[in-house]
């Protein structure tokens, strides 16, 4: 099953509200709901209180050395 055209989501999470969001990994899913389910299942090793997903295509680079 080729997945090269599927959406890659960058996953960010934090364990406390006073902490910044950390990048924890990626999931590859076209369906937004499945991406959320997958991210929660894959990155469940920490007691996160907040997790967000951002489509990689929506990220804008401010600096690129």
Please, which residue, 1 or 16, has the CB nearer to another protein?
1
Please, which residue, 19 or 31, has the CB nearer to another protein?
31
* CA-based radius of gyration for the chain: 13
Please, which residue, 57 or 61, has the CB nearer to another protein?
57
Question: Is 40 a binder of another protein (CB under 8 A)?
Answer: yes
12 near 19, Cβ under 8 Å? no
Extract long-range pairs of 4-7: CB within 8 Å, 24+ residues apart: 6/30, 7/35, 7/55, 7/56, 7/57
Question: Is 16 a binder of another protein (CB under 8 A)?
Answer: no
Binding site for another protein (CB under 8 A): 1, 3, 27-31, 33-38, 40-42, 44
């Amino acid at each position: 099953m080729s997945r090269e055209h599927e959406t890659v989501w960058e996953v960010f999470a934090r364990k406390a509200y006073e902490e910044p969001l950390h990048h924890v990994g990626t999931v590859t899913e076209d369906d937004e709901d499945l991406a959320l389910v997958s991210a929660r299942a894959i990155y469940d090793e920490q007691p996160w209180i907040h997790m967000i997903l951002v489509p990689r295509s929506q990220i804008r680079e401010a600096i690129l050395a």
